[in-house]
Structures are given as C-alpha cells and as structure tokens.
Amino acid sequence: MPEPDLTPASTVEVLSAPTPESQFTTAKASRKSLLLTGIPMLVIGLGLIGFGLSTGLLVTLVKVLLMVVGVFLAIAGLGRTAEGIRGRKVDVVFGLGATWLVLLLAAAALAPWLPLGNHNDSAAGLSAPIFASPSLGSEYPLGTNNYGLDLLARAVYGARTSLTVSLFAILIGMTIGGLVGMVAGFFGKATDRVIGIFANALLAVPPLVLLIALGTVLDPNMRNLSIALSLLTIPSMIRVARANTITFAQREFVLAARSMGATRWRLLSKELLPNVLLPVLSMGVVMVSMLIVAEASLSYLGLGIQAPEPTWGNMIAEGESGVMEEHPFIVIVPGLCLFLTVFSFNLIGEKVQKRWDPRSAKL
C-alpha cells in the first residue's frame, strides 16, 4: 500500500511556483519571439508602401491596396518590435498619431521658410507640368494639379489654413461658452434658464445649414470662418462648463471660501475656474477634429477659402468633373491628410478626456 503524501500544501505551492530565473527566461524568449516576427513585418510593410509609391507598373487601385496592406503590416510590426524592445505593450497608433500632429503643426508653422514649390500662383505654374504623377525622386513628390501647382506645398499650406481656422474657432468657443456656462451654473435660476434656452436654440439648428447660411452672408476669410465655426462649439462648451460648475460649487473648498466671505468674482475666478478649465480643454481637443471637417466641407462647397489659396476642402473639390478617374492622387493627397489629422485629433482627444474629465473616464 503506497504511503500517503504528508508534504504540506504550502510547500507544494512553493515548489511548483516559477522561480525568478524561469520567469526571466520566459520573458526573454517572449521578447525575442516578438522581435523575430515584428521586424520582418515592419520591413515588408515599409517595402509595400515604398513599392506602391514608386512603381509605375500597376494601376492606381492596386497601388492603393498595396499601400493599405503595407500600412497595416508596418503598424503591427512596429507594435510587436516596440513591445519586444521595451518588454511591455506600446500604444503604437497613439504614438504615430501624436507624431503626425507634431510634424504637421511644425510644417504648417514653418511653411513660409520650407523649400516648398509653388502653391497658389497660377501664372507661375504655366511652365510646370500639369497632373504630374507623384514620384519621390522628382521635383514634385506628391504631383501637381491642373494648374501645375505643387500638391505637397498646397497640402502643407492647406494644413496651415485648416488648423489656424479650427484652433481660433475652438479658442473662441471655449472662452465664450466656458464663461457663459460657468455663469449659468453658478447663479442658476432665471440666468440658467435663459442661457439654457440660448444653448438649446443653437443646438436645434442643423450645423451644416447654419454654416451654409453664415457662409453665404459673410466674406470667406479666415476671421469670419473662425467666428462661424465657433458657433458650433459654444453650446457644448456651455453644457460642459455649467455641469462642472454645479458639481464643484458644492465642494468643501468652495463652501469654505463662501463662508469666509469670498466674493462671487473670487469664487468664480479663483475656486471654480481652475477646476472647470480642464474639462473644457479636454472637450476642446475632441472638437478640433469636428471643426477641421466642417471647414473642409465649407471649402469643398465653395463657401470657405477660395482657390487658388489652398485648403484641404477646395483641393478635394479639384477632383470633380472626371479628373479623379484619371488622376486620383489629386483627391488622395488632401483626403489622406484630412483623414490622418482628424483620426489623430480624435485619438489624442479621447486620451485627454479620460485624463482630465473624471466623468468621461467612468463611461
């Protein structure tokens, strides 16, 4: 008859538990495996992107499909490679989005000093080739339009216009909407009801209808566009500022300041404003992408900045009348810039909102 095992359970658990040396070996093997699969995926993805951009042997649709597959492979390979190097997961998509925005903002700010081609002088473009195909080694790496204007230069200056209009619009919206919302939340009663009716009235008007109406009345310049687009942000900013003001007005530090005789101005400026500002800023980052799309829509409809001054919207409009079928890069270049910028702002806005607005983190 076999003897019973009298080894304590705790001893068995200790003996079966992985040792630090085995854990280190397993982690090292896992990181090596990630590198062995990630680096080839990254190289293949970059190779497909480069081949799609440089080859003239394939039709445009096949080249675009190759580049899309290459982008996905490159992102997946970069993520695995970064995880293998750092030993933990890395949010590669967020990093790429942030990098894109940094490069775009830098290029837009430094556009007058960059060695870019002709972006708006149609007369000077008469000597340049029209509809030149994109080629990395040529004078026009992203091609030219029907006036011989450089699409790379137009994309950069279009970013300058779109970002300037959108950022000024969001600043106006945050300033006016934030202050009005704080007043509504702090004073309440009749003040709150009147401001609430104003905000709901703005929300009741379809945004595109409002923008078209303003675009037909105002001159299409950057100042008027910023004012018109800010009307889309004010109602949301009022609601965010009002809700946070009501929440923080019941906190102990505000009640203590009120009991010590603090004036309403001091309560609003010193106690409430610093706490309401962060949620309003997080909402502003989220809404920048919406304003960029709205500005592009107005320019596409001919109600925004007028050609030959470039914006992404009127650059996309250049692909009308059958041009896109023969020269799709006319639309792909500004469309891709618009997509990447909006996508990146949405990613960063989501992260910022989770960090700065506690209510959104609970959703």
Token pair for 316: 């996309």
Per-range mean pLDDT, top range of 57-66, 122-131, 310-319: 310-319
Q: How does pLDDT run across 168-214, given as a tens digit for each residue?
A: 999 999 999 999 999 988 888 888 899 888 888 888 888 778 887 77
Domain ranges of the chain: 23-90, 124-361
What percentage of the chain has pLDDT greater than the value 70? 84
Asked if 264 contacts 186 with a C-beta cutoff of 8 angstroms, the reply is yes
**CA 303 to chain CA mean position, Å:** 24
Position 12 scores a pLDDT of 47
The pLDDT mean for the chain works out to 80
Q: How does pLDDT run across 311-342, given as a tens digit for each residue?
A: 998 888 887 766 666 777 888 888 889 988 99
What percentage of the chain has pLDDT greater than the value 90? 12
Res 8 pLDDT > 60: no
Nearest by Cα to 224 from 310, 295, 313, 119: 295
Range with the poorest average pLDDT among 137-146, 175-184, 300-309, 336-345: 137-146
- CATH homologous superfamily, domain 124-361: MetI-like (1.10.3720.10)
Angle subtended at Cα 192 by Cα 189 and Cα 195, rounded to the nearest 5 degrees: 150
Give the pLDDT band of residue 356 (cuts 50, 70, 90): low
